[in-house]
């Protein structure tokens, strides 16, 4: 998700040549705020927890979107 946000910035600010790309990539990586990177990490941890509990597909998606516990998937949602 972090890389995707950086790529979006690069597409918006690049002139589509190698010299421009070399200048834009470091700025693109620095353009993503730390809080956003942490939010991406939290979301990834929730998905990993859902998979650890054996959820897949729509069940995992539901559990991740409707979780109420801190850093884990709520046991009630998984049932």
Instruction: Give the model's pLDDT for residue 66.
Output: 79
* Segments in the chain below pLDDT 50: none
pTM for the model: 0.69
> Which residues lie below 8 Å from residue 32, measured CB to CB, with a gap of 6+?
2, 5, 6, 9
Contact 7, 28 (CB under 8 A): yes
Instruction: Give the model's pLDDT for residue 62.
Output: 87
Instruction: Give the model's pLDDT for residue 68.
Output: 63
């Amino acid at each position: 998700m972090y890389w995707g946000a950086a790529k979006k910035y690069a597409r918006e600010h690049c002139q589509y040549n190698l010299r421009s790309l070399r200048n834009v990539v470091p700025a693109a990586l620095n353009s993503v705020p730390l809080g956003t990177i942490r939010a991406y990490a939290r979301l990834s941890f929730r998905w990993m927890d859902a998979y650890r509990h054996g959820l897949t597909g729509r069940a995992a998606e539901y559990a991740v979107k409707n979780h109420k516990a801190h850093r884990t998937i709520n046991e009630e949602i998984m049932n």
